[in-house]
A and B are shown apart, each in its own frame.
Chain A
Amino acid sequence: MSHFLELRGIKKSFGEVQSLRGVTMTVDRGEVIGLLGDNGAGKSTLIKIITGYYQPDEGEILFNGQRVEHLTVPRARQLGVETVYQERALADQQSLWRNIFIGRELTTRFGLMDIQRMRAETQRLMQDHMGFTSTAVTPDSPVQTFSGGEKQGVAIVRALYFQAELIILDEPTMGLALSETGKLLEFVEQVRSAGKSVIFIDHNIFHVYEVADRIVLLDRGRVAGEFRTSDLTLNDLLDKMRRVAKTGSLD
């Protein structure tokens, strides 16, 4: 069976800066991948290529073994890629329901927005998944009034609503309270047991090690190493990361 996602020799430059110098990696169903690397290693560029935000200069992207030419954001979302961005990707002054349905507003037969349904779906998501119990928050509340954790809840629920096959979490624990971080790691477990895939990017190696099946170590635009977390201890991982940071390779 083919991989859910396969990247082959992905290269991307911005002017003089070579951000990715040939990245090859795979993501399987039900797999949690931890993507690690220093600032400037190319993590953000790589995920923005997977989400269709950037087009690679060279290389191939395959979903379920099928090559996808010119991957755009709507196309990637159609293929089941959902992203919870570090910056949350919310529009602060807009209502909760508008944020949930950004770019994929439900419409009626007449091509107009089905506002009633979008508000109702938002209400359901709030009760079942977001843990909003206060009556002060409604589907019409602007998200600028929400806390950091609540905003992230919105971004995650948005990813879930559209039945993601692959959820990319970009620095998801940043700015979260401890209890919120615990909930997030639980959430990753749930997604895995539902047979979906996750790419987890975090500065906190301990979080990544805890939930990931496999770790992909990125350095200066290349894959410096790949490990199963079952094959190495946390200390081994830290060692390897230090070596890569110093020398640029594992050996």
Chain B
Amino acid sequence: MMEHAITHPAPAPTLRTRVRRNALQIGIFVVLLLLWGVFIVAAPRTFLAPEIYASFMATVPFFGIVALPLTMVVIAGDIDLSFPSIMAVGVVAFVLVFDSTANVWLAFAACIGSGFAVGIINGLIVVRLGIPPLIATIGTQFFWRGVILIVTNGRSEVLVEPKNSPLGQMLVGKIGDYVPMQMVWYILIGIAIWALLNRHRFGAHTYLTGDNVNSARLMGVNVDRTRILLFALVGAAAAFAGLVASLHVTNFFTTLGEGYLLTTLASIFLGGTSAFGGVGSILGTFIATFIIGSINAGIVAIGLTGFWTQLIYGLIITVSVTMHTVVRRRVG
């Protein structure tokens, strides 16, 4: 059945269909260039200096690393709002294990493992108990934040020793005194998640689940396992991102992650992922994180107050979700 040679090679898509199919990614890239142009013209001293780009590369991965797997969750038709708390859970697990064993590698494993486990719990609540993911993960977000406050007694933690360890240098060191290591990890994770979504069966099942969960089930896709694993993936990525963000500032704050909810979601929707599931792009999210990440700096550099940031994030989420719905209605 599958042994015979390829006798009917499918024609390569023409340039036009390629453009049409990737319209969203091309669109988002154009938006990035336009915005960049505006910032350079309006604030040349800031945006023509290399420091600002070093700063973007250092800070965008903090939420971008979560935005990538969360894009897959959204493609599967789910959502996870608890990741800010999972970022902190991971670092607390890291600190607890490091304090008792003084081994950064064990602590690192505990960090990722705890994030994964919390993600599995999210997945089980959503999938096995059938609670809408929006509600379930708002609940778990508060729950885990509460656990962190109780465990740490609300105190922050200094991370000088882990930061100076080989692990710390691997995660947040600098290459050539300019490129932060977290940017390298962000790119590597981006490639891995892209391959998982577009080149692995797991990714195919993610698309099918979000597109039509009923069809996917009828055709034997293990929808439940796919969804639960996606929540676990976000959990592990959130813990990793939390550790990177904390090591970068050499400090763990119990509020870790709280500022990232809006930026992460804005990146995903701006990147062309449908809020209804079934459609989405890792590259789109990747590019969008840099748009979102530069808006704050851009606004301040242009001379507006930081108060504008919130308004613009909100506008971006609303407009991009609306645009997607309108486009979808016209096609469908």
B10 touches A138 (CB 8 A): yes
| B10-A111 in contact (CB<8A) | no
Interface flag for B218 (CB, 8 Å): yes
- A123 with B10: CB separation less than 8 A: yes
**A162-B1 in contact given A105-B201, A112-B200, A138-B13 (Cβ < 8 Å):** yes
A92 to B211, CA, bound (A): 7
Q: Nearest chain-A residue to B207 (Cβ)?
A: A94
Task: Check B332–A105 contact: CB distance below 8 A.
Answer: no
A144 within 8 A of B: yes
Report the minimal beta-carbon distance from A113 to chain B, rounded to whole angstroms: 6
Residues of A within 8 A of B100 (CB): none
Q: Is the CB of A105 within 8 A of B220?
A: no
B15 to chain A: closest CB distance in Å?
14
**A58 beta carbon closer than 8 Å to chain B:** no
Per-position binary interface string of chain B over residues 1-24, scored 1 when its CB falls under 8 Å from any chain A CB and 0 otherwise = 110001111110100010001000
Q: Which residues of B213-258 are within 8 A (CB) of A?
A: 214-221
Q: Does A91 contact B (CB under 8 A)?
A: yes
The count of chain B contact residues (Cβ–Cβ below 8 Å) is: 33
User: B204's contact among A74, A113, A163, by CB below 8 Å, is which?
Assistant: A113
From A88, A92, A119, A163, B10 is in contact (CB under 8 Å) with A119
Q: Which residues of chain A (109-148) have a CB below 8 Å from chain B?
A: 111-113, 115-117, 119-124, 127, 138-140, 144
Q: State A144–B199 Cα separation when bound (angstroms).
A: 23
- A53-B10 contact in complex given A91-B207, A113-B200, A144-B331, C-beta closer than 8 Å: no
Given contacts A74-B220, A103-B220, contact A89 B215 (CB under 8 A): yes
Whether the pair A102, B6 counts as a contact (CB closer than 8 A) is: no
Q: Is the CB of A94 within 8 A of B220?
A: no
Complex partner residue of A103 from B2, B7, B212, B216, CB under 8 angstroms: B216
Distance to closest chain A CB from B281 (angstroms): 13
| Alpha-carbon separation in the docked complex, A18 to B279 (Å) | 39
Instruction: Report the Cα distance A117→B9, complex, angstroms.
Output: 8
Q: Is B195 an interface residue (CB 8 A)?
A: yes
Give the chain A neighbours of B17 by CB distance below 8 A: 138, 140
Indicate if the CB atoms of B21 and A140 lie closer than 8 Å: yes
A112: which B residues are within 8 A, CB to CB?
Answer: 195, 199-200
Q: Does B88 count as interface, using CB distance less than 8 angstroms? A: no
Please give me the residue from chain B that is nearest to A104 by CB atom: B220
Cβ-neighbour of A53 out of B13, B204, B217 (below 8 A): B217
- Does residue B278 face the partner (Cβ distance < 8 Å to A)? yes
Q: Is A73 located at the chain interface by the 8 A CB criterion?
A: yes
Chain A nearest CB: distance from B286 CB in Å? 20
The answer to whether B195 and A90 have CB atoms under 8 Å apart is: no
Number of A residues whose C-beta is below 8 Å from B?
A: 46
Report chain A residues within 8 Å CB of B2: 106, 117
Question: CB-nearest residue of chain A relative to B18?
Answer: A140
Known: A113-B200, A120-B7, A162-B1. A92 touches B212 (CB 8 A): yes
Is A196 an interface residue, CB under 8 A from the partner? no
CA distance A88 to B217 in the complex (A): 12
Q: Which residue of B lies closest to A135 (CB)?
A: B11
State which of A94, A97, A117, A121 has its C-beta within 8 Å of the C-beta of B208. Answer: A94
Q: Which residues on the B side are within 8 Å of A74 (C-beta)? A: 220
Please tell me if the beta carbons of A107 and B211 are within 8 angstroms of each other in the complex: no
Give the docked Cα–Cα distance between A120 and B8 (Å).
Answer: 5
In the complex, are the beta carbons of A91 and B211 less than 8 A apart? Answer: yes
CA distance A107 to B9 in the complex (A): 17
Interface residue from B1, B11, B200, B219 paired with A73 (Cβ < 8 Å) = B219
Query: Which residue of chain A has its CB nearest to the CB of B14?
Result: A138
Cβ distance B222 to chain A, nearest Cβ, rounded Å = 8
Instruction: From A51, A119, A144, name the one whose CB has the most chain B CB atoms within 10 angstroms.
Output: A119
Which residues on the A side are within 8 Å of B13 (C-beta)?
A: 138, 140
Q: What are 17 A-B contacts defined by CB distance under 8 Å?
A: A73-B217, A73-B219, A89-B219, A91-B207, A91-B216, A94-B208, A94-B211, A97-B10, A98-B207, A112-B195, A116-B6, A121-B8, A122-B10, A123-B8, A123-B9, A140-B13, A144-B331
The 7 residue pairs across chains A and B that have the minimum distance between CB atoms:
A73-B220, A91-B211, A124-B8, A119-B10, A102-B219, A103-B220, A123-B10
10 new A-B contacts at CB < 8 Å, known A97-B10, A121-B8:
A72-B220, A94-B208, A102-B219, A103-B219, A103-B221, A111-B200, A112-B199, A115-B199, A116-B6, A139-B10
